[in-house]
């Protein structure tokens, strides 16, 4: 099963920050058991949403030739729960690259201006064509940024 955890990209620049949104919907499969009777978005999926947002920034900045894959969490802290109906606003800023084929990021996730997660992480930059169809990703990026109409 694959979860696409970025619902909208609000802004981005090829060499700077990227901002996006994850809307937590009660219909998401993982909420049925996390926690039964008291659904919350798992913290690991908040971190994964940040990793996916970094992937979108790497893809767009490289004309969809490359992608970012999170593989190391330097630090991560959770400050509360993201609940069904919440709009989690994600913001990432690049840190100095640890190596030519790696990227590092600092990110936060806020709900109604209140911090829910903060993390620093890094990962590998890989050819996008080894993972996905670059044209399909370009098309989806257009929808996420609202540059392409439905």
Strand residues in the chain grouped as ranges (E): 8-12, 18-23, 66-78, 87-95, 102-111, 114-127
Is the bond leading into 35 cis (omega within 30 degrees of zero)? Answer: yes
56: domain CATH number is: 3.10.129.10
Its domain, for residue 46, covers 8-144
115 against 36, higher pLDDT? 115
Q: In what order do the strands lie in the sheet with 18-23?
A: 8-12, 18-23, 87-95, 102-111, 114-127, 66-78
In a domain, 45, yes or no: yes
| 2 located within any domain | no
Let me know if residue 140 belongs to a domain.
yes
Q: How many CB atoms lie within 10 A of CB 56?
A: 23
pLDDT (tens digit per residue) in 6-30:
999 999 999 999 999 999 999 998 8
- Specify the residue for token string 């084929």: 101
The pLDDT > 70 percentage for the chain reads 97
pLDDT of 148 strictly over 80 = no
Q: Could you read off the pLDDT of 48-96 as tens digits, one per residue?
A: 999 999 999 999 999 999 999 999 999 999 999 999 999 999 999 999 9
Please provide the size of the chain in residues.
150
The mean pLDDT value for 22-47 works out to 93
How far CA 48 is from CA of 42, 63, 138, 146, in Å, comes to 10, 22, 20, 22
Q: Is the pLDDT of residue 117 over 60?
A: yes
Percentage of the chain lying above the pLDDT 90 cut: 89
Catalytic, 34? Answer yes
How far is residue 70 CA from its own chain's centroid? 10
Give a yes or no: residue 50 inside a domain.
yes
What does the pLDDT read at residue 149?
59
Which of 19, 34, 87, 102 is labelled catalytic?
Answer: 34
d(CA 7, CA 115): 19
State the sign of the Cα–Cα–Cα–Cα dihedral 46, 48, 53, 54. Answer: positive
What average pLDDT does this structure show over 122-144? 97
Mean pLDDT, the chain, integer: 95
User: How many domains, in total, are found in the chain?
Assistant: 1
Query: In this predicted structure, what is the pLDDT of residue 2?
Result: 78
């Amino acid at each position: 099963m694959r979860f696409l955890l970025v619902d909208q990209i609000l802004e981005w620049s090829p060499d700077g920050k990227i901002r996006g949104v994850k809307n937590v919907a009660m219909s998401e499969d993982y909420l049925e058991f996390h926690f039964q009777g008291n659904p919350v978005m798992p913290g690991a999926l908040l971190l994964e949403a940040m990793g996916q947002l970094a992937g979108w920034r790497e893809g767009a900045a490289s004309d969809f030739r490359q992608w970012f894959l999170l593989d190391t969490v330097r630090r991560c802290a959770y400050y509360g729960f993201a609940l069904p109906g919440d709009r989690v606003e994600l913001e990432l800023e690049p840190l100095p690259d640890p190596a030519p084929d790696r990227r590092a990021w600092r990110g936060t996730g806020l709900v109604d201006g209140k911090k829910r997660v903060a993390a620093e992480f890094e990962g590998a930059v890989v050819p996008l064509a080894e993972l996905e169809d670059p044209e399909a990703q370009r098309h989806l990026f257009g929808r996420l940024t609202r540059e392409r109409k439905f």
